[in-house]
Structure 1
Amino acid sequence: MKLLHAKSALALLAGWTLSACAWAQLTPVGTWHSIDDKTKEIKSEIVISEQQGQLTGRITKLLRAGADQNARCTECTDDRKDQPLIGLEIIRGAKQVEGKAVWEGGRILDPENGKTYNLRLTPVEGGQKLEVRGSIGPFGRTQTWVRVQ
């Protein structure tokens, strides 16, 4: 009888642990590969972190074949002007929508054109992918980034 209770408790604990791990993945916090819309190749690695309830994201690696590892954000017009792409903060200020696995209210920078866009981040597929939506008013586009394991 004790063995049956121990197995039940272990199964319950394992189920709770798996649920907690799945919930932990329903966040943009982590390391991601951005994917080129046209070629479908990996462009860069971005690390998203949370500081005081707000998300920030930085490019940590340029992964596109032939990428200039010393490239700078020459098109940027704010404090990121001429800053190196590696280490560049491209996500600022997104906050979680209360009760949802969605982060909004921040801005995302496209370092290729120097423009910033309103941002919405939505983890999908159990947190293994991230829908990254940049928009101006009703116009925008969504990229899907892939979590780095």
Structure 2
Amino acid sequence: MKRYILFSVLFIACGALNDACAQDDIFGKWKCTNDQGKVNSIVKIFQKDDGEVCGKVVRITKEEDRDKICTECKGDLKNKPIEGLQLMHGLRKDGNEYSGGEIIHPKSGKVYKVKIWVDEDNPDMLKVRGYVAFFYKTMTWERAE
């Protein structure tokens, strides 16, 4: 009987731990799609040593676009190659999401506040919400293999 209770407690604890880890699994490579659902790029979400979460374009899918530069960007990002560009920075964990950061749209150069979270129904989908004031747009990125 004691074994049964111990096994049950361990089984429940492992299940809770797996759920917590799945919600936090924003790190890795994600397929970034446009409004038509076509994959434009692969973005890698990573964490710096100080805990800041960032996103970097690691691959542009159209070979002919891989040498494009961010002509509309401001400051240090102006005229930098889009492939390799750190387009998201400043995110910190806040409950089940990461917020407090910024994301840049390389084609327009516009900077938006951003928050990201893993879809609770599908851990292979990442929700990316860019916003200004109370206007926002949420994109869904799919985990890249």
Question: Please, what TM-score do these two structures have when normalized by structure 1?
Answer: 0.82
Q: Write the distance in 2 (CA, Å) between the matches of 1:95 and 1:80.
A: 22
**For 1:96-124, what per-residue CA distance to the aligned partner results, in whole angstroms no more than 9, with x for missing partners?**
11xx2111100001001001100111210
Tell me the residue number matched to 2:72: 75
The CA deviation at 1:126 is 4.0
Distance 1:74 1:126, change over 3 A: same
Selected match of 2:141 from 142, 145, 149 = 145
1:54 corresponds to which residue? Answer: 52
Structure 1 unaligned segments of length 5 or more: list them: none
2:103 paired with 1:108: yes
Letter matched to residue 54 of structure 1: E
1:10 positional shift: 7.7
When residues 95 and 89 of structure 1 are mapped into structure 2, their CA distance, relative to the original with a 3 A threshold, is: same
Question: Counterpart in 2 of 1:91?
Answer: 88
Identical aligned residues as a percent: 25
Deviations 1:61-80 (A, max 9, x none): 011x4641111111101211
Structure 2 distance, partners of 1:147, 1:68, is 22
12, 32, 35: which one pairs with 2:33? 35
Task: Figure out how many residues of one structure are paired with residues of the other and give that number.
Answer: 142
Does the residue aligned with 1:112 lie in a helix, a strand or coil? coil
Between 122-131 and 22-31, report the one with greater CA deviation.
Answer: 22-31
Q: Secondary structure at the match of 1:40?
A: coil
Give ranges in structure 2 of 5+ residues lacking alignment.
Answer: none
TM-score, normalised with respect to structure 2: 0.84
| Aligned CA distance change for structure 1 residues 12 and 138 (closer, same or farther; 3 Å) | same
